[in-house]
Structure 1
Amino acid sequence: MNIGKHILVVDDEKRNRNLLQAMLKSLGYSSEVASNGTEALAMLDMSFDLVLLDVMMPGMDGFEVTRRIRSSQDCSDIPIVMVTVLTNKRDRLEAVGAGANDFISKPVDKVELKVRMESLLKMKAAQDEIKRHRADLEVIVEKRTAALAESEERLRAIFEAAQDCIFVQNSSLQYTHVNPAVERLFGKPAADLVELTDEDLFGEEAGRHNREVAERVLRGETVEEERTRLVNGIPTTFLEIKVPIRNASGRINGLCGILRNITDRKDVQTRLHRIVPDRPTSEAMRQTIDKALLVAETDSTVLLAGESGSGKDHLARFIHEHSKRADGPYFTINCAALARELAESELFGHEAGAFTGATRRKRGLLELAEGGTLLLNEIGELPLSLQAKLLTFLDTRTFSRVGGEKTIRVSARLIAATNRDLEKEISEGRFRADLFHRLNVYSVFVPPLRQRIEDIPILARKLMQELTSEMQLDRTPEIDSVAMRKLCRYSWPGNVRELRNVLERSLILSRGGQLKIDLVEDEAFHDEVSQTDWTWTATFPLRESLTNMANDLKRSLIEQALEKCSGKRTEAARLLKISRDSLKRQMKTLGFYSPDHEHRVRVSPRNKVL
């Protein structure tokens, strides 16, 4: 065990040097000798593992040699054993003060020498091992410090350059860090935002909601939601993600949030989807809107019934936008379009590894709708296997992701829509009765378009504006009275969806000219509406001049009279209570003799629109 250990023996007496060398050799050590302190110091570059040093030597004594060894740069930690005849306590304390590790008395006992040397050499070996580990650790720490500095610089660059708002809040929900995007959003420097709370920035109501969400994050949840808040007095819609921040021991001590301003996207979505008339003309739709506004004030589950294309999804959005959840997200899922094997994942989400292809965790639409509304469109198509899980959610407001064990609580309002007779579906075993009763808390029927043709002018003009924007046309073509009458005399089996398609097709066919309505007139529907009195509908403010509107009214009355009299002008004049000559002048003035105006055009007797 002592092979390779090299010992320096320092003694002014040759006899003692030889004796110690012999002992060391017998113990397995190699050694070198020096007769005085100066010689010993000169030999230190030979890398000794231990020094046996005589105290009393001429010139430089052992105390001074020890002090010089300890002050040297390369061998200050070499073990030193004083070999001495001194027994004076003061001398031994001086030796310790100089840096000696141990003492051995003359005459030297071999066994004692062996024990003391082995003890010191083991200690030295342990110290050397610690030094090596420390050196290795210093290299690792240096590399990791450099990598951390690089990572911090990258994060700082991302933090500074990000267009999204990034912030950190402590456990008291005070802002501690904000990036420049947050400064730009609020028009304040970071120093003025730090230590503020959400109540300070967004007001009491919005701040209260933020605090509720933040408290969930501080309990370990990651929350993603869409909210609209007032920022400097301007309604601003954000997609917001908040995640917990943990310290080295894993304890949550704050949160990090990212805000993305999606106000422009929200405005586009609202513009494209709000085709429920703000002030419907028809009594049927007015009653529907009144019912919708009534339930919008609550968080109750709503069941919307009506034919396909009648506008159930738009009425659902209308309810959301008039509810206290209007600032929250709005999502819709078409149950009929869901692949059965993925339906549960789409609705409830899944954990990583839950099934083949699930490489990472995914939040379902229920979770994404936190604080807002989820529309379950075509609920009658939902697989029976999922109906039970949806029922559980409605009862408890909790669920688990596919492949997960954690129970997730969500505050999301559900609106269901269907064009099926759910009671019939129940009787035929395709829909659960208990789920129907949980969904049917408050039902609203959306009338088909044929039962509210008075709304067609408003709907058509609104749709034309949207289509013009989508198709990037320079202007919105006017729908003249002839085209509008054609729209109003049709039965619309496809409801509002078909109306939109017809208008889009008409815009394509018109190519910037007069709007051409491509429709096949529904004779049965025409006969049905012809049996009732007809009305005029005008919108205000006026879209045309009063003169043009009056002429349009005259033209329609003359057309109707001529139709009833099979084109006989004398009889038509009598119906209009004017002379035949007056009728002739009016027809000429109004362009009845133009190739574009046929006086035998059939008209709908109840849908004259200005």
Structure 2
Amino acid sequence: MTMIKEFDQIQREWEHTFDAIPDAIMILDNHHRIVRMNRAMAEALGTSPQHPVGKNCYEVLHCTDAPIACCPHSQLLNDGREHFAEICDERLGGTFRVSVSPIYGTNGQIIGSVHVARDISALKQAEDELRNASRELEKRVEERTAELKAVNEKLLLEIREREIAQEALRGSEERFRAICESARDIIFVKDLNHTYTHVNPAMEKLLSLPSDKIIGLKAKDVYGEKAGKHITEVELRVLTGDLVEEEHTRPVNGVQLTFHDIRVPLRNATGTIIGICGMSRDITDRKNVLRAALPSYPDYPSASIRKTLEAARLAAVTDSLVLLTGESGSGKDYLARYIHDHSDRTAGPFFSLNCAGVPLELAESELFGHEAGAFTGASVRSRGLVELAEGGTLLLNEIGELSLQLQAKLLTFLETRTFTRLGGRKPIKVNARILAATNRDLQAEVLSGRFRLDLFHRLNVVWVKVPPLRERTEDIPILVKQILDVLRVDMQLQSVPDIDKNTLETLSLYSWPGNIRELRNFLERSIIMSRGNRIDGSFLNAEEVCHADKCWTLRFPPVPSLDEVIRDLKEDMVKESLHHTGGNKQEASRLLGISRFSLRRLLESMSERNRT
């Protein structure tokens, strides 16, 4: 009885374990009948564990009347071996790995089989995904291999091209180095801090220093504080992208030398400015030849010119605009040169443009330059006088002759210090001082609409009036000596012609309506006529002395009074001007150099005087 209970207990435990196994298990007899199945198999089939018992497996599993051809149970009964299979059963909803093992009876005969089915759907899906991933990986590897092959071929080609380029660069560097080392001009390179990084032998020779002593220095260390300050200001503009060309005088080992400097921005492969490349040519000998022809500045005795020169000296120490006014031939060019030579720009160039002598259609090109193709015949780029005067001074003589259009462009330059060449687009920044000169009454020109009011105000910062020669006759002996010294050089005379004292006195008595220009013309004509001998005044006859249509002689002391003499002179000149112009008051006022309003007041005063 006890054994029966123990057997029952063992059987219950076995059945409990049998049902708890997660794999689907089914036991068949020799006739394909289901003897037992666990809960996992029953759930997979959608039935209870007891319901299929006794039924044929092919009826339950495959819904057929006979075993299927590949039935593993039939194969086991035939060969007595264990069989394995993978079955994809839509009814069971997945793929199962099935193992079929024989059950032996006590006599060793096969009496049935045990079917164990494990759901491997997830495993199969993983295997499929892995297989697909493997195929995708192989495909990507093939594609990547092809890409790498193409990249490798391209890289090899680039390496070869780079080798060729490097070889060409080495050749170019060698040629450039040979040019730099053999050049007589100074060539240097600076970094963004204005420090020398490369210099050629010409600069070593100039400074009497080896390159390793120059590299690391700045301009102020080489040329001194004053010159270094100017050079630094120029190089700051270069580092913004400008090309700057100028003439500059600076001390080298205690000697003042003049250089023609060109500085351009140094860029890397991406176009970023990384430094400065410069070239300097010593033009001291050429400048010395030019300086030999420059005017001297003696002490003139007349109070009028002394006062004018004092105003010029005050203007020279600033960088402001200066307007020089005075009669034609009175020496406005001379005074402009005086201002330049006494300014901080004396180391730079001095240019003068006679605006009245330039055709209107060429004035803009002459002043601001032009690009190639800007107009017919402009085959190459040309720099104008504004650009050439970099670091120096430009005199615009007879500025009242400029067209209104060019006056507007000049005003823009004076305000911004930038301009564009004719036919160009890129703005160019220039550091040049502008002096203006005129023999016209610019205020009257403004009223008549021939001169811009805003430009007049911009120019009239410092106004200096140059006196006519008749107001400084005591300076004539000194002026004669200056002019004769110049004529000796120009006319290639062996010595300066002499001039007697009486002739000097006669010259001092003449009113010189043509001013210093007329005086020079007379002296040149006298030298020619006297064949370089003594100038004795024999060529100073009445016809040569007075070239005006009408002259007036004044005596000292004035009779009856100075006021009466001035009043009579004014009336005579007004009458003469109206006679010359046929009664045209506008033209008469222009000849007299006064406004129409002033002429009208004089006529009214004359009429009132005649009535009384």
SS in 2 for 1:426: helix
Task: List per-residue Cα deviations over 1:460-502 (Å, max 9, x = no partner).
Answer: 2122222223333333233332443343344333222232233
Q: Distance in 1 between matches of 2:225 and 2:154?
A: 60
Distance 1:132 1:229, change over 3 A: closer
2:349 to 311, 324, 329: 329
Q: Which residue number corresponds to residue 226 of structure 1? A: 247
1:198 and 1:136 mapped to 2: Cα distance?
Answer: 42
1:420 aligned residue (440, 446, 456): 440
Partner of 1:501: 521
Q: Distance in 2 between the 1:532 and 1:178 partners?
A: 73
2: distance between equivalents of 1:258 and 1:483?
A: 54
1:55-454 counterparts in 2 under 5 A?
134=156, 138=160, 147-274=168-295, 277-454=297-474
1:281 positional shift: 1.4
Is the 2:243–2:263 contact (alpha carbons within 8 Å) kept by the matching residues of 1?
Answer: yes
Paired residue for 2:608?
none
Aligned to 2:493: 473
Q: Cα distance, 1:329 vs. partner?
A: 2.6
Secondary structure of 1:431's counterpart equals coil
Q: CA deviation at 1:385?
A: 0.7
1:521-600 aligned at under 5 Å gives the runs 521=542, 528=553, 531=556
Cα deviation, residue 384, structure 1? 0.7
Structure 2 vs 1, CA of residues 486 and 261 (structure 1 numbering), >3 Å: closer, same or farther? farther
Q: Please give the per-residue CA displacement for 1:28-84, whole angstroms capped at 9, x wherever unaligned.
A: xxxxxxxxxxxxxxxxxxxxxxxxxxxxxxxxxxxxxxxxxxxxxxxxxxxxxxxxx
* CA distance in 1 between partners of 2:170 and 2:498 (Å): 64
Taking the aligned partners of 1:300 and 1:135, their CA distance within structure 2 comes to: 62
Structure 1 262/480 Cα, relative in aligned 2: closer, same or farther at 3 Å? farther
Distance 1:351 1:471, change over 3 A: same
Deviation at 1:377, TM superposition (A): 0.7
For 1:194, the aligned partner's letter is I
Give the aligned partner of residue 53 of structure 2: none
Could you tell me how far apart the structure 1 residues matched to 2:554 and 2:294 are? 30
Alpha-carbon contact 1:507-1:516 (below 8 Å) kept: no
Report percent identity of matched pairs. 54
Cα 1:501/1:258, change in 2 over 3 Å: farther
* Secondary structure in structure 1 of the residue aligned to 2:324: strand
Q: Tell me how far 1:245 sits from its aligned partner.
A: 0.8
Aligned length in residues: 418
In structure 2, runs of 5+ residues without a counterpart are 1-137, 559-612
Aligned residue type for 2:202? A
Distance 2:266 2:513 in 1: 56
Please say if residues 499 and 536 of structure 2, whose CA atoms lie closer than 8 Å, have aligned partners that are also in contact: no
Q: Deviations over 1:396-446 (max 9, x none)?
A: 333333334444443332211011122222222211122112211221111
* Structure 2 CA distance for partners of 1:501 and 1:183, relative to 1, 3 Å: farther
Q: Please identify the structure whose Cα radius of gyration is greater.
A: 2
The one-letter amino acid of 1:412's match is: A
**Match in the other structure for 1:540:** none
Separation (CA, whole Å) in 1 of partners of 2:150 and 2:316: 77
Report the TM-score when normalising by structure 1. 0.61
> Displacement of 1:318 after TM fit?
0.6
AA at the equivalent of 1:387: Q
Alignment CA distance shift 1:249-1:456 (3 Å):
same
Three-state SS of the structure 2 residue aligned to 1:350 is coil
Contact 1:273 1:314 (C-alpha < 8 Å) held by counterparts: no
With 352-361 and 439-448 compared, the bigger mean Cα shift is at 352-361
Residue 293 of structure 2 aligns to a residue whose secondary structure is helix
CA separation of 1:125/1:286 partners in 2, compared to 1, >3 Å: closer, same or farther? closer
- Alpha-carbon distance in structure 1 between the residues aligned to 2:171 and 2:521: 56
TM-score by length of 2: 0.61
Q: Is the 8 A contact 2:242 2:429 kept in 1?
A: no
* Preserved CA contact (<8 Å) 1:384 1:430: yes
C-alpha displacement at 1:169, in angstroms?
1.0
TM-superposed CA distance for 1:128, in Å, is: 10
Residue 524 of structure 1 deviates from its aligned partner by 7.3
CA distance 1:529–1:269, shift in 2 (3 Å): farther
- Secondary structure (helix, strand or coil) at the match of 1:363 reads coil
SS of the equivalent of 2:216 reads coil
Paired with 2:525 and 2:249, the residues of 1 have a C-alpha distance of 36
Matched AA of 1:278: P
Relative to structure 1, the CA distance from residue 474 to residue 141 in structure 2 (aligned partners, 3 Å threshold; closer, same or farther) is farther
Tell me if structure 1 keeps the 8 A contact 2:393–2:434. yes
What is the CA–CA distance in structure 2 between the aligned matches of 1:258 and 1:371, rounded to whole Å?
Answer: 16
TM-superposed CA distance for 1:304, in Å, is: 0.8
Alpha-carbon distance change, 305 to 141 in structure 1, aligned in 2, over 3 angstroms: same
Rounded to whole Å, the distance in 2 between the matches of 1:369 and 1:399 is 14
Task: State the alpha-carbon separation in 2 of the partners of residues 234 and 310 from structure 1.
Answer: 36
Measure the CA separation in 2 of the matches of 1:361 and 1:497. 36
Please state how far the C-alpha of 1:334 moved relative to its aligned partner. 1.6
Distance 1:471 1:169 in 2: 48
Segments of 5+ residues of structure 1 without an aligned counterpart are 1-115, 534-610
Alpha-carbon deviations, 1:257-288, whole Å to 9, x = none?
1222233333444443425x431111111111
Distance 1:188 1:126 in 2: 55
Superposition RMSD in Å: 3.6
CA distance in 2: counterparts of 1:244 and 1:155, whole angstroms:
17
Paired AA for residue 422 in structure 1? L
CA distance in 1, matches of 2:456, 2:154: 74
Give the aligned residue type for 1:230. P
Distance 2:437 2:250 in 1: 29
Q: How far, CA to CA, are the matches of 2:557 and 2:484 in structure 1? A: 29
1:121 Cα deviation from its structure 2 partner: 14
Q: Using the alignment, how far apart are the partners of 1:510 and 1:137 within structure 2? A: 83
Say if 1:271 and 1:466, in contact at 8 Å, map to a contact too: no
Task: Identify if the C-alpha distance between structure 1 residues 124 and 292 changes in structure 2 by more than 3 Å, giving closer, same or farther.
Answer: closer
**Cα deviation code 1:270-323 (max 9, x no counterpart):** 443425x43111111111111111222222211111111111011011111112
Offset at residue 177 of structure 1 (A): 1.9
Conserved 8 A contact 1:302-1:440:
yes
Cα pair distance change 1:456/1:268, threshold 3 Å: farther
2:322 is matched by which residue type in structure 1? V
Distance 2:230 2:243 in 1: 15
